[in-house]
Amino acid sequence: MTMTTPLRAAAALCLAGSLTLTAAACGDDGSTGGGSEGEGAGSITFWDNNGGVRTPVWKEIIADFEKAHPDIDVEYVPIPINDVQSKYDTAIAGGGLPDVGGVTTSYLANMVAQDALEPVGGRIEDGSLKGVLAESMTESVRAAGGRGDEMYSVPTSANNGTLWYRTDLFEDAGLAPPTTWDAFHDAAEKLTDKEDNAFGYTIRGGEGSIAQALDAMYGQSGITEFWDGEETTVNAPENVAALEKYAGLYGDVTPEADVNNDFVKMVAQFDNGDIGMLSHNLGSYQDHLKAFGEGGFAGLPQPSGPGGKRVQVSNPVDGLGLFKSSDNKGAAWKFIEFAAAHEANSAWNESAAQIPANSEAAQDAWVKESARDNGAFASLTDGSTEIVQLPYYLPDWNNISKTDNEPAFQKVLLGEMSAKEFLDAMAEQLNEARAEWQEQQ
Amino acid sequence: MSTAPTALAAPPHARGAATAPPARRGRARRRRPYDEVPRWQIWVPLGLYLLFTLIPFYWMLLFALRPAGSTSLVPWPMTFEHFDKVWTERSFATFFQNSMLVGAATLVMTTGVALAGGYALARFDFRIKKVFLLGLLCSQFIPGALMLVPLFEIFRSLQMINSLGSVVIAETVFQLPLSLILISTFIKNVPYALEEAAWVDGCGRFRAFCAVVLPLLRPGLIAVGSFAFVHSWNHFLFALMFLSEQDKQTIPVGLNTLIGADSVDLGALAAGGVIAAVPVVIVFAFIQRWLITGFSAGAVKG
């Protein structure tokens, strides 16, 4: 069959149109540049990167801020956490960025690379936040930005990996809290009764599975560095053995459906079924409280590995970014300073059950109570844990730790791929990404 | 003599009606395939399919209606606290209103433009008609995400970012190609002679279209309109990207904000899901009859 001339022309037109659109979609109008200090008053826009869940506490903080600064209005915009990166990327490419936005270290490098964020190191030094931000978190923010010592966000909170367990099930089985990996595996086995639909553990096999697998892997192997020279340690023999053991939990002591578990399904399974343990973070505390009530569950830091050493991977640090395109940076910075100051930072973190970045807020009574009730709250800062710093600064990190490898990890769980094959492939991607990043520096 | 002409004048199907029912006479009634299949072979798969379809809805209702922390498999004791929470605290009342506005405006614009364009495609021959139709088909292969940045820039230059109008226009643009093709097929099925007869009776083209063609297009209009409404009601991407004020956001964006980074309120999420599903279910319940007629007309007679 041959095409007539008009049809050929139409096909060419459509092709040209598609290519033009593609080019336009990939283009940048330079809208991230410019901006000005403004008059330090007027209206500013704030995008909450975890909109909805944190909306009530942000509205309280904004109301307090507007009371303290009657000449500034804050327009609050809640953005769903799952889509915040695409929202930022679209606004970076097409314009319309806010003045202030919530930014975590997991995608900070990507935004810095697109020149969207204003450096804030100088403003911190010259303002009220000097010396009050937790050093470990400012270090994470510096490292994640990937531009030397410069900071591109003001840290506000950190999360920490937590092993949640059902105290009632442990007591009934006569088990002690799983503070070591050996105790963890033992408890997972003893709490499993498949015929009764009871399982010792729920594993994350779907979205977000890689960070959790890496956490369990480094925790059991005891390796404390992500890089050994120019090469990653993810496929070191100790890590391969640790991942084999971790993936071996699937199906034996976990539900079969776990292969598709994202955190929502995983937490829902734990809260609504007979599952002994769950690895998540401090953030799901309220969900467990609703499900089991006080005393029905407890949280522990990462179990200890070989030689009693506790090792875990770093968690993203949440913060507030000042956007370069803002025409009212003066007012926007006042808002950031207010939100990261003692009172607001404490209120936000208490509501979110996370660790405050403001060192004065970290001394508040609720923080000490939380640390007493849950060792995971304190383990990040009390020196008991060695942290393997994940390379958030690699622009490819998000792809490598999510879309590129999550399906392959499901194959490992299902026994269709070995842990070694999986880790070797991931190591190759990481080494390439690091080499590419180094070339760009 | 006087009765014979009367008998002959009777319509053929009335002849012999007094003696015996004609349908049963002479040969056995032809069995339809439906009668040859045992009823259970129809009802059991249908029942299983229905169960498979309804279980997720039941699960959503269960989480929406049972108290937080309950693990009961029936929503008892029943609570409406989750509905109250999402409707008032989480601004679903505003989101619902915005979604309704976007859905209704998209429906009206899509149907209106598709009607005018479809009529032109069905009734007129013009130089680039085939090219235009090919272009319409090709446009179906362009994903919405690819258009995001260009559309964002256009709406920004028109100062339409943060306006529900931007979402309505974007939704209409994406709905139009298929709607145009569908409506033009429906119009082609309406005999041209009907319009010509109306012209002879003194109608102009527009009046003839309104008086003669439009009433016959009801199934097609309902099919196109309902799809435009449901699609815009459910569509998330444009609302997320083009609306950056909380009081402008729509139901799908609101639903996504119920999922946090580390925790999710399943009761609120389920209640939000029920609120989002109800209008769609009502729309389909009302239009089901017209929808089937519309699709069969468009599909078979085209």
Residues A213 and A296 in one domain: yes
Residue with tokens 């290519």: A19
B96 belongs to a structural domain: yes
Number of domains in chain A: 2
The ipTM estimated for the assembled molecules is 0.76
Residues B173 and B61 in one domain: no
**Chosen from A1, A58, A59, A77 to mutate, greatest number of chain B CBs within 10 A:** A77
**More confident site: B292 or A282:** A282
Q: H-type helices in A205-324, by residue range?
A: 209-221, 237-247, 263-272, 285-292
The closest CB to that of A82, out of B89, B147, B259, belongs to: B259
Q: What would the pLDDT profile of A345-371 be if each residue is shown by its tens digit?
A: 999 999 988 999 999 999 999 998 888
Residues B209 and B249 in one domain: yes
- pLDDT for A27 beyond 80: no
B11 belongs to a structural domain: no
Which pLDDT value is given to residue A24?
46
CA distance A16 to chain B (A): 12
Q: What would the pLDDT profile of A95-116 be if each residue is shown by its tens digit?
A: 889 999 999 998 998 899 899 9
The closest CB to that of B134, out of A7, A24, A95, belongs to: A7
Q: Which of A328, A346, A378 is the last residue of a domain?
A: A378
Interchain CB distance below 8 Å, B259 and A264: yes
> Could you list the pLDDT tens digit for every one of the 302 residues in chain B?
333 333 333 344 444 444 444 444 545 556 666 667 888 888 999 999 999 999 999 999 999 999 987 888 999 889 999 999 999 988 899 999 999 999 999 999 999 999 999 999 999 998 888 899 898 888 888 888 888 889 999 999 999 999 999 999 999 999 999 999 999 999 999 999 999 999 999 999 999 999 999 999 988 899 899 999 999 999 999 999 999 888 999 999 999 999 888 888 889 999 999 999 999 988 888 787 777 665 555 544 44
Residues A227 and A331 in one domain: no
Residues B249 and B200 in one domain: yes
Residues A185 and A240 in one domain: yes
A287 belongs to a structural domain: yes
Q: Which residue of A has its CA nearest to B245?
A: A77
**Mean per-residue pLDDT over chain A, rounded:** 90
Instruction: Return the structure tokens found at A190.
Output: 């003893």
Residue B78 near residue B67 (C-beta atoms within 8 A) = no
Interchain CB distance below 8 Å, B244 and A45: yes
Q: Which residue of A has its CA nearest to B155?
A: A94
Average pLDDT over residues A371-380: 80
* Domain that includes residue A127, residue range: 42-158+316-378
Residues B209 and B60 in one domain: no
Residues of A in contact with B238 (CB under 8 A): none
Residues A298 and A406 in one domain: yes
Residues 137-196 of B with CB under 8 A from A: 138-139, 142, 146-150, 152-153, 156, 161
Residues A202 and A272 in one domain: yes
Q: Residue A278: which H helix or E strand, with range?
A: strand A274-281
Interchain CB distance below 8 Å, B134 and A10: yes
Q: Which residue of A has its CA nearest to B141?
A: A18
3-state DSSP: chain A helix, strand, coil percent, rounded to 5? 50, 15, 35
A30 belongs to a structural domain: no
Residues B43 and B114 in one domain: no
Interchain CB distance below 8 Å, A52 and B256: yes
Residues B229 and B162 in one domain: yes
Average pLDDT over residues A290-317: 90
Q: Residue A232: which H helix or E strand, with range?
A: strand A231-232
Q: Which of B22, B49, B65 is the last residue of a domain?
A: B65
Residues A197 and A307 in one domain: yes
Number of domains in chain B: 2
Instruction: Return the structure tokens found at A171.
Output: 């007591």
Residues A93 and A146 in one domain: yes
Residues A304 and A173 in one domain: yes
Which pLDDT value is given to residue B2?
38
Residues B51 and B101 in one domain: no
Distance CA B276, CA B185 (A): 32
Q: Residue A43: which H helix or E strand, with range?
A: strand A42-48
Residues B99 and B60 in one domain: no
Residues of B in contact with A91 (CB under 8 A): 152
Q: What is the pTM of this model?
A: 0.81
B25 belongs to a structural domain: no
A1 belongs to a structural domain: no
Specify the pairing of strand A385-388 against strand A310-313: parallel
| Total residue length of chain B | 302
Residues B148 and B218 in one domain: yes
* Domain that includes residue B51, residue range: 33-65
Q: What would the pLDDT profile of A233-278 be if each residue is shown by its tens digit?
A: 999 999 999 999 999 999 999 999 999 999 989 998 998 888 999 9
Residues A306 and A411 in one domain: yes
Residues A197 and A214 in one domain: yes
Distance CA B282, CA B280 (A): 5
Phi/psi of residue B265, nearest 5 degrees: -90, 95
Closest to B176 measured CA to CA, from B166, B168, B186: B168
A4 belongs to a structural domain: no
Residues B125 and B191 in one domain: yes
**More confident site: B223 or A336:** A336
Q: Which of A335, A352, A378 is the last residue of a domain?
A: A378
A315 three-state secondary structure: coil
CA distances (Å), A290 to each of A299, A335, B71, B266, in order?
Answer: 15, 33, 11, 11
A307: CATH: 3.40.190.10
Q: H-type helices in chain B, by residue range?
A: 4-9, 33-36, 39-65, 81-84, 92-123, 129-139, 144-157, 164-188, 192-200, 205-208, 214-216, 218-234, 237-242, 251-256, 266-300
A21 belongs to a structural domain: no
Distance CA A335, CA A44 (A): 9
CA distances (Å), B251 to each of A62, A107, A286, A353, B202, in order?
Answer: 24, 27, 25, 28, 49
Instruction: Return the structure tokens found at A94.
Output: 């097409």
Residues A180 and A294 in one domain: yes
Residues B54 and B176 in one domain: no
A216 belongs to a structural domain: yes
The closest CB to that of B148, out of A25, A53, A292, belongs to: A25
Q: Residue A165: which H helix or E strand, with range?
A: strand A161-166
Distance CA A69, CA A45 (A): 15
Residues A153 and A122 in one domain: yes
A13 belongs to a structural domain: no
Residues B38 and B138 in one domain: no
| Total residue length of chain A | 441
